Amino acid sequence: MRALASTGEVIAVEPGDLIFRSGEPGDCMFGLLEGEVQLSWNGDEGHEQINAGDVFGAGALVTNEHRRYGDAKAITPCRLLVMNREKFLFAVQEAPMFAIELLGSIDQRLRQLKDCTRI
């Protein structure tokens, strides 16, 4: 992801800044280069902390007319790589392992969420 950041759009957000809100249209995913982000959904009933190296908002790349499912807010100062569908497809074409690493990251997050719901 850091290699992609050298040619992609990188934004900085401050603690407390809202990155996106539930119900908003989404056309990009975010790669967290630095910092921590909190995702929340169902009126703040569900939470997940995103750490550097993770991606979030990937549903926007695979769903037409995507609407964000929850809120994303910076917990600490963050640097985010913004990736639309075109940039994502280019990254996968140039570095196919990027897709495998992305799937691995998403799988790990889903497993962690599943473990949390068992408690």
Residue ranges making up the domain that contains 35: 2-117
Report the mean per-residue pLDDT for the chain. 86
More confident position, 45 or 69: 69
**Residue range 5-21: average pLDDT?**
89
- 3-class SS of residue 28: strand
> What does pTM read for this prediction?
0.82
- Res. 101 pLDDT band, cuts 50 70 90: confident
* Count of domains forming the chain: 1
Strands (E), 1-119: 9-13, 18-20, 28-34, 36-41, 46-51, 55-56, 71-74, 78-84
* 23-56 pLDDT, tens digit each: 999 999 999 999 999 999 887 788 899 999 888 9
Residue 23 vs residues 16, 31, 84, 89, 110: alpha-carbon distances, Å: 19, 20, 18, 25, 21
CATH code for position 6: 2.60.120.10
